[in-house]
Amino acid sequence: MKQYTYLLLQLNIFFYNNLALHKHLCLMNLIIIPFHSYTHCLPFSWNEIQRIEGDGNYTRFILSNGERPLFAKNIGLYAPYIPKEFIRIRKGCIVNQHFITAFNPGTKTILLADQTIVKASRRKWKDLTQNYHIFLATLS
Protein backbone atom coordinates (compact mmCIF):
# COMPACT_ATOMS: atom_id res chain seq x y z
CA MET A 1 0.00 0.00 0.00
CA LYS A 2 2.96 2.32 0.58
CA GLN A 3 3.73 2.23 -3.14
CA TYR A 4 0.50 4.11 -3.84
CA THR A 5 1.03 6.93 -1.30
CA TYR A 6 2.95 9.27 -3.59
CA LEU A 7 0.67 8.42 -6.52
CA LEU A 8 -2.45 9.20 -4.50
CA LEU A 9 -1.13 12.58 -3.39
CA GLN A 10 -0.40 13.52 -6.99
CA LEU A 11 -3.77 12.21 -8.17
CA ASN A 12 -5.72 14.23 -5.61
CA ILE A 13 -4.08 17.39 -6.96
CA PHE A 14 -4.58 16.51 -10.63
CA PHE A 15 -7.77 14.48 -10.68
CA TYR A 16 -10.54 17.03 -10.30
CA ASN A 17 -12.51 17.27 -13.61
CA ASN A 18 -10.12 14.98 -15.51
CA LEU A 19 -12.21 12.23 -17.14
CA ALA A 20 -9.32 10.37 -18.79
CA LEU A 21 -7.60 9.93 -15.46
CA HIS A 22 -10.86 8.75 -13.88
CA LYS A 23 -11.13 5.96 -16.48
CA HIS A 24 -7.49 4.99 -15.91
CA LEU A 25 -7.99 4.72 -12.15
CA CYS A 26 -11.12 2.61 -12.61
CA LEU A 27 -9.06 0.17 -14.67
CA MET A 28 -6.51 0.02 -11.81
CA ASN A 29 -9.36 -1.00 -9.42
CA LEU A 30 -8.86 1.99 -7.13
CA ILE A 31 -11.83 3.37 -5.23
CA ILE A 32 -12.56 6.96 -6.22
CA ILE A 33 -14.66 9.11 -3.89
CA PRO A 34 -15.39 12.67 -5.12
CA PHE A 35 -15.67 15.24 -2.35
CA HIS A 36 -16.38 18.97 -2.64
CA SER A 37 -13.08 20.31 -3.98
CA TYR A 38 -10.94 17.20 -4.42
CA THR A 39 -11.12 13.47 -5.03
CA HIS A 40 -10.25 10.86 -2.42
CA CYS A 41 -8.60 7.75 -3.90
CA LEU A 42 -8.31 4.53 -1.92
CA PRO A 43 -5.56 2.10 -3.04
CA PHE A 44 -7.70 -1.04 -3.02
CA SER A 45 -10.91 -2.29 -4.64
CA TRP A 46 -14.35 -2.84 -3.11
CA ASN A 47 -13.89 -6.62 -3.50
CA GLU A 48 -10.96 -6.58 -1.06
CA ILE A 49 -12.94 -4.97 1.77
CA GLN A 50 -14.41 -7.30 4.42
CA ARG A 51 -15.90 -4.56 6.55
CA ILE A 52 -15.77 -0.83 7.18
CA GLU A 53 -15.73 0.46 10.75
CA GLY A 54 -16.36 4.03 11.80
CA ASP A 55 -14.89 5.55 14.93
CA GLY A 56 -15.87 9.19 15.32
CA ASN A 57 -14.21 11.17 12.53
CA TYR A 58 -12.15 8.19 11.35
CA THR A 59 -12.94 5.19 9.15
CA ARG A 60 -11.03 1.92 9.17
CA PHE A 61 -11.23 -0.44 6.19
CA ILE A 62 -10.56 -4.07 7.11
CA LEU A 63 -9.23 -5.82 4.01
CA SER A 64 -9.18 -9.51 3.13
CA ASN A 65 -5.35 -9.56 3.14
CA GLY A 66 -5.26 -8.44 6.79
CA GLU A 67 -4.42 -4.78 6.22
CA ARG A 68 -6.39 -2.23 8.25
CA PRO A 69 -5.87 1.25 6.72
CA LEU A 70 -7.29 4.19 8.66
CA PHE A 71 -8.62 7.36 6.98
CA ALA A 72 -9.52 10.70 8.53
CA LYS A 73 -13.06 10.81 7.13
CA ASN A 74 -16.19 9.65 8.89
CA ILE A 75 -18.06 6.59 7.68
CA GLY A 76 -21.03 8.69 6.52
CA LEU A 77 -18.97 10.32 3.77
CA TYR A 78 -18.22 6.91 2.23
CA ALA A 79 -21.77 5.54 2.61
CA PRO A 80 -23.28 6.99 -0.62
CA TYR A 81 -20.52 5.37 -2.72
CA ILE A 82 -20.57 1.90 -1.17
CA PRO A 83 -21.85 -0.86 -3.52
CA LYS A 84 -25.04 -2.82 -2.82
CA GLU A 85 -23.06 -5.90 -1.70
CA PHE A 86 -22.41 -4.12 1.59
CA ILE A 87 -24.89 -4.06 4.48
CA ARG A 88 -24.88 -1.57 7.32
CA ILE A 89 -25.31 -3.70 10.43
CA ARG A 90 -25.03 -0.91 12.99
CA LYS A 91 -24.19 2.76 13.13
CA GLY A 92 -20.43 2.26 12.94
CA CYS A 93 -20.07 -0.92 10.88
CA ILE A 94 -20.71 -1.91 7.26
CA VAL A 95 -20.08 -5.53 6.19
CA ASN A 96 -19.38 -7.02 2.76
CA GLN A 97 -21.93 -9.83 2.24
CA HIS A 98 -19.36 -11.94 0.37
CA PHE A 99 -17.48 -12.46 3.65
CA ILE A 100 -20.43 -13.47 5.85
CA THR A 101 -20.22 -17.14 6.82
CA ALA A 102 -22.84 -17.54 9.59
CA PHE A 103 -25.54 -15.80 11.63
CA ASN A 104 -26.34 -16.30 15.31
CA PRO A 105 -29.93 -15.13 15.89
CA GLY A 106 -29.67 -15.62 19.67
CA THR A 107 -26.90 -13.08 20.13
CA LYS A 108 -27.57 -11.17 16.88
CA THR A 109 -23.99 -11.64 15.74
CA ILE A 110 -22.40 -12.40 12.40
CA LEU A 111 -19.38 -14.61 11.77
CA LEU A 112 -17.11 -13.36 8.98
CA ALA A 113 -14.65 -15.32 6.83
CA ASP A 114 -11.68 -14.29 9.00
CA GLN A 115 -13.47 -15.73 12.10
CA THR A 116 -14.34 -12.24 13.39
CA ILE A 117 -17.63 -11.98 15.25
CA VAL A 118 -19.50 -8.72 14.64
CA LYS A 119 -22.57 -7.67 16.61
CA ALA A 120 -25.53 -6.24 14.71
CA SER A 121 -27.88 -3.66 16.13
CA ARG A 122 -31.35 -4.71 17.22
CA ARG A 123 -33.05 -2.57 14.56
CA LYS A 124 -30.79 -3.66 11.69
CA TRP A 125 -31.01 -7.41 12.39
CA LYS A 126 -34.24 -8.05 10.44
CA ASP A 127 -33.07 -6.06 7.42
CA LEU A 128 -29.71 -7.79 7.58
CA THR A 129 -31.03 -11.35 7.43
CA GLN A 130 -33.65 -10.49 4.79
CA ASN A 131 -31.17 -8.64 2.53
CA TYR A 132 -28.59 -11.40 2.88
CA HIS A 133 -31.03 -14.07 1.68
CA ILE A 134 -31.99 -11.85 -1.29
CA PHE A 135 -28.28 -11.39 -2.00
CA LEU A 136 -27.72 -15.18 -1.98
CA ALA A 137 -30.62 -15.64 -4.40
CA THR A 138 -29.07 -13.22 -6.89
CA LEU A 139 -25.78 -15.15 -6.84
CA SER A 140 -27.38 -18.44 -7.88
The residues spanned by each domain of the chain are 1-43, 49-140
The 3-state DSSP class for residue 46 equals helix
pLDDT, tens digit (0-9, with 9 covering 90-100), for 82-95: 888 898 999 999 99
What's the predicted TM-score (pTM) here?
0.74
Residue 135 has pLDDT above 80, yes or no: no
Which pLDDT belongs to residue 53?
95
Please give the single-letter amino acid code of residue 112: L
Identify whether the C-beta of residue 90 lies closer than 8 Å to the C-beta of residue 124: yes
What's the CATH number for 49-140?
2.40.50.1020
d(C-alpha 32, C-alpha 11), whole Å: 10
d(C-alpha 19, C-alpha 122), whole Å: 43
Residue 98 phi, psi dihedral angles, 5° rounding: -65, -20
Quote the distance between the C-alpha of residue 86 and its chain's center.
7
pLDDT, tens digit (0-9, with 9 covering 90-100), for 48-106: 999 999 999 999 999 999 999 999 988 988 888 888 889 899 999 999 989 988 888 88
